[in-house]
Amino acid sequence: MAKKYLTSKMIGHSIAYEGSPEALVSLMKRAKKGEKLTLCFLGGSITQGSLSSTPETCYAYLVYSWFVQRFPKAKFTYVNAGIGGTSSQFGITRLAENVTPYKPDFCMVEFSVNDPANPLFKETYEGLIRRLRRLPGSPALLIMNNLFYDTGVNSQDEHDEIGEAYDITCISVRDAVRPEIEAGRIRREELSPDGLHPNDAGHAVLAGLVTDHLEKLCAEYVEGKAKPAAPVVTIDPVTVNAMEKLKRTQYRSKAVECKGFKPDYSKKKDLHELFKHGWKAWNKGDSITFTFTGSELALQYRKTIHRPTPVAEAIIDGDTAHPVLLDGNFDQDWGDHLYIGTLMYHGERIETALADTGRVQFAKPTKAEAAAEAKLAAISQKQPEKKKHTVTIRIIETHKDDKVPFYLVSFITA
C-alpha cells in the first residue's frame, strides 16, 4: 500500500533533522552479525495501532518486520509501548514499567500529536529523551512527528529542537504528507479516516518513511565502507529540565493518607489496563492526602463515559480559596479517558487549561492565547525550588445513580 502513495518527493521532505547515524548504524551492524535485539516503540494511539486493521499493519510492526526481513540472522523482540491519548509527560513516568524491563536496543518515540506545542511539554519531552539516553545499553533513538492531517498541527518544532540538541534523527510525516494533501494529489481520507489516526495505507506510509531512511543508512554504512560521524550532543539541557525525574505515586505509597478512598489492589494484565493500582471513592466527603517534596505536580484520574460519577476537588497546600475541580464525567463518547491535569509547574500554581494550551501553528494568536503563551514561557525560565507540598483530593458531589466510583490513578511529581 505504501508504494501507491509514497513518492521520492515525500521521502525527500520527510527528514526534519538528519541526526547522527552512528547509533542506528551500530544497531544494524549488530543485527547483521545475528545478535538478539529488542525494538521498542513508545508513543500514543498511532503507535498503539489505532485504525490499523490488524496489529501487524501498524507502522511500528511494519518497521519491526523490515528489520526481521533485512537481517534474517538476527533474533528480534518487538515491544509496542503505545498507549492511546498519552503524552510525553506520562511517557517519562511509565518507562520503568513499559520500556526499561525489556532492555531495548532501539526506541522510536512518537508524541507529537498528544503533546501541546508549549514550553511545558517541550520540557517533558526533553526529560523523556534524556531518560531514554540513560537506559542501560544506550538504545538507538529515532523521533517521529505525526500530525493532524487537516491542519498540519503538531508539536514538531518543539520536539525537533530537542532532537537536534541530542543529534537524533527526526522524521516528519507532516512535511512529507501535508504538501500532497494541500496540492490535491492525495485525499486526506485515503490515509486517515478521522484526520488523526492512519488507516493501513497511512501506517504503511509512516513505516515507509522510516524504513527508506534505514535502508539508505544500511547501504552506505553497513553494506558500504563509509564511517558515520559521532553524534554531537549538548551537555546542558535545552530547558530547565525539571521533568526528567518525574515519577508516579500509586496505591502502595506511604506518603498517602486515605479517608474514604480505597486502594485498588486488582492485578494489571497489560499496559493498556490504565485504571488499576490507584484509589476509588464513592461518597461525598471521602478524601485522600498526599505529601511530597518537589516543584512539579500533576494528577491522573479517570474521565468516564459511564455517567454520572462523583466529582472531586483538589486543594494544594491548604489553599481552599482556589480549589481545582476534578470532574470524572467525560463529555465524549469514545471511551474512558486517562486524564492528566498539571497543577504545579516549576513550583508555581497553574490552571490545568493553561498547561493544555497548544495554539494552531501559523495562526495569529488571540489575546487569551498570547497571554497564556507568555505566562507559560515566563514560568518555563524559572528555576524550580523544591519545597514540601500537600495536596488533598475530596469528593464534593455525588449522585443517587452514580454508575462507577471516582477513580484517582496517580500523583505525578518531581
pLDDT for the residue numbered 338: 96
Determine the pLDDT at residue 230.
87
C-alpha cell at 292: 511530597
pTM, rounded to two decimals: 0.96
Helices 22-33 and 200-217 cross at an angle (nearest 10°) of 90
φ, ψ (nearest 5 deg) of residue 71: -130, 75
User: For position 355, what pLDDT does the model report?
Assistant: 78
Which residues is 257 bridged to in the sheet? 289
Nearest-angstrom CA–CA distance, 281 and 265: 14
Q: State the helix-helix crossing angle for 200-217 and 59-70, rounded to 10 degrees.
A: 40
**pLDDT, tens digit, 9 for 90 and up, residues 34-48:** 999 999 999 999 999
The pLDDT, as a whole number, for residue 371 is 81
pLDDT value, residue 54: 98
What strand order describes the sheet that includes 311-316? Answer: 256-259, 287-294, 387-397, 311-316, 324-327
Cβ neighbours, 10 Å, residue 103: 15
- In this prediction, the residues of the chain whose per-residue pLDDT falls under 50 are 359-360
d(CA 115, CA 87): 5
pLDDT tens sequence across 210-222: 999 999 999 999 9
Could you give the CA distance from residue 104 to residue 67 in angstroms, rounded to a whole number? 14
Q: Please, is 173 exposed, middle or buried when counting C-beta atoms within 10 Å of its C-beta (0-12, 13-18, 19+)?
A: buried
Element (H, E) at 60: helix 59-70
Select from 49, 126, 50, 114 the least CA-distant residue to 80. Answer: 49
C-alpha cell at 34: 545475528
Domains and CATH numbers, the chain: 2-222 (3.40.50.1110), 247-413 (2.60.120.260)
- Which letter does DSSP use for residue 221 in this model? I
